[in-house]
Structure 1
């Protein structure tokens, strides 16, 4: 629910019930106490003597405080909407009643959006859902077109992350020989980044008139999106020095331009598994190697989960060929314009809003509502 069509006391009651359910699920009263406790701890002498512990507690404080403030804000919007509606009812047909009803409508619409966002947070029950994410895009079937499609998706996710206020580090984004990029790997830091972005894991299909075809024929191309979590500091994955090979080379970016003239880009190959990670964002070999190792450890952790539990889909979804029949979402630019998620049925004709402006929230929220509903049905 993102809008309230007709503002009535019953409609506000329904929103209040949803808000109460979210408050209970998020344990808001417990978090209020935890916020007070953490604020006292952070003000105590010697708090920063153990910097690692201090950073962890401050991150917990920011998360708990954010949830409490969001609920308090929603409660305030609910009170404002009720007050405006009650005053409008008292005025009856008097001048100004319509303005109060309009004000109540705006408050209720804002409240509905806030409850939507809080519900989404309450659905994130995975171990890493509230943390950061590593997102990788790779071209699939479609040749040169797939490399161009990979670049389009890369720009779409950069826009989406900017809309969410997340910090993005581009770890790797080498230009293809003719158009587009060979792949892209980014690290996304922000509240619920992994929980939100795991909705995007899978095969994405594009249908359009080929920009490289002189006969202007319709072309279908594919790209795959992988999303894995950035591992918290308390999860340590051992990587033996003898198990990796480190290669360095010149960095380059989209469009073929040289990023620098030194061998700063790093490629790390994990010999036992064959996993290859490349990073070229930083100008220092040391920084790029550190970024590679972070991504490698996340992928090794994922691999270990698969071996132990055979539940890889909990992290990034089942492995499928990046081609026909496996897509999670279709982006059609010709002969009509439509973006449709094939899992949830969420669709829009505003293709530019999705691809050019990164307006992905309807698809992300729709996915999690669909996934939560399926989980409850199976329980």
Structure 2
């Protein structure tokens, strides 16, 4: 048998699961599922397609969340039986299988535990992510495209729906900027910790002398606005330009003036949208993103005012928060949490869950420290 104290480990698993169940409030979750099932069974549900999709998505997510907790309870029970069999029969193979299952359960519990930390006002929302190439020329544009692929692969691994809403291509390679939506419960809560300045250090593939290049990209994450949010924008505060979509597209995407650029005159906030085929659709999508940005801007201003009154003003946007080093060594390091990954290729392929989880735990720690000082 292995040296692991399975009795203690299993007890710890049950304690952690009990804490998660308490925070999740299983009775409330079951009541929510029952209510959503009733809404989903309404004969006129699909008369309002947008609402029907929201109900269906919310029901699927809630059922999945309850199922994960129930499955974990069963897995812990099964693990206990597996450990007893391994001990009775002195079966090393079964003992090793129990170790692997113990590790897997720990990982799933960690994911659920992190979810309980997402309690912000907009954490449950879909996320709108914008990546902009910064200093570094063509390498920065290429880096922006690498980050886009990283986030899309992360979403794909979790089976989250994504939609690229606007793309501005760089002249030589890569992207000047790109905006995309991630549709999943808690997409904003998870991805919000990705906001900030990302740095890449590598041997530039665009330098014929093979020199090392440092480049930067900025990532902005905002929650997607919902119809129930009250963000009124007077028409005379908006300037709307229409133009022909650029870059690769379908038959009708870049043959008409369907793309929309929306500018909020009081703040200078600009949103471009060209993914949809019609100008009306792009205009509606741009307005939703504009409302989302203005809502977040309002919240940021309120938070800045509170910090100024407390005598502690800190700028978070623009701070370098993560380095991806490909040469002279291989490492991805989050400069806020000190979390490191030794396989940048895996990170760029979407394996960023541990970086995100460390960021969420760090943020909660910061919030608790600020609350204690207040």
The TM-score with structure 2 as length reference comes to: 0.88
The aligned counterpart of 1:304 is 298
Deviation at 1:238, TM superposition (A): 1.4
Query: In the alignment, is the contact (CA less than 8 A) between 2:122 and 2:189 conserved in 1?
Result: yes
Q: Say which SS state the counterpart of residue 231 (structure 1) adopts.
A: coil
Partner of 1:346: 339
Equivalence for 2:351: 359
Q: How many pairs align?
A: 363
Report the CA distance between 1:319 and its aligned residue.
4.7
Shifted more, 51-60 versus 11-20: the winner is 51-60
1:175–1:254 Cα contact (<8 Å) kept? no
Change (3 A) 1:336 1:276: same
Indicate the residue corresponding to 1:162 in structure 2. Answer: 156
Deviation at 1:52, TM superposition (A): 6.9
- Cα offset for 1:55? 5.7
1:211 Cα shift? 2.3
User: Could you say what secondary structure the match of 2:197 adopts?
Assistant: strand
Aligned to 1:177: 171
Give yes or no for contact 1:28–1:67 (8 Å, CA) kept in 2.
no
Deviation at 1:61, TM superposition (A): 3.3
| 8 Å Cα contact 1:245/1:271 also seen in 2 | yes
Q: What secondary structure does 1:173 align onto? A: strand
Q: Which SS does the other structure have where 1:296 is aligned?
A: helix
Mapped to 2, the partners of 1:329 and 1:300 lie a distance apart of 26
> TM-score w.r.t. structure 1 length?
0.87
Gaps of 5+ in 1: none
In structure 2, what is the Cα distance between the partners aligned to 1:251 and 1:49? 32
* Contact 1:130–1:191 (8 Å) recurs in 2: yes
The answer to whether the Cα contact below 8 Å between 1:264 and 1:288 also exists between their aligned partners in 2 is yes
RMSD of the TM alignment (CA)?
A: 2.7
Correspondence for 2:311: none
Q: Deviations over 1:18-40 (max 9, x none)?
A: 11111111112332233234434
Gaps of at least 5 residues in structure 2 are 308-313
Q: Residue 206 of structure 1 aligns with which residue?
A: 200
Q: Write the distance in 1 (CA, Å) between the matches of 2:365 and 2:3.
A: 24
Give the 3-state SS of the residue equivalent to 1:223 in structure 2: strand
Out of 124, 128, 148, the residue aligned to residue 130 of structure 1 is 124
CA 79–207 in structure 1, closer or farther in 2 if over 3 Å, else same: same
Partner of residue 288, structure 2: 294
Q: Using the alignment, how far apart are the partners of 1:289 and 1:129 within structure 2?
A: 26
Matches within 5 A, 1:260-339: 260-310=254-304, 318-321=315-318, 326-339=319-332
CA distance in 2, matches of 1:146, 1:68: 43
Q: Deviations over 1:238-257 (max 9, x none)?
A: 122222121122212379x9
Q: Distance in 1 between matches of 2:252 and 2:354?
A: 38
- Equivalence for 2:32: 34
Residues 180 and 52 of structure 1, relative CA distance in 2, 3 Å threshold: closer
Alignment of 1:58-207 (within 5 A): 58-91=56-89, 93=90, 97-207=91-201
Range that drifts further, 106-115 or 182-191: 106-115
The separation in 1 between residues aligned to 2:45 and 2:70, in whole angstroms, is: 28
Q: What is the Cα deviation at residue 143 of structure 1?
A: 2.5
Is the aligned partner of 1:373 residue 2:365?
yes
Distance 1:242 1:148, change over 3 A: same
Change (3 A) 1:117 1:44: same
Give the drift of 1:46. Answer: 6.1
Distance in 2 separating the partners of 1:162 and 1:45 = 33
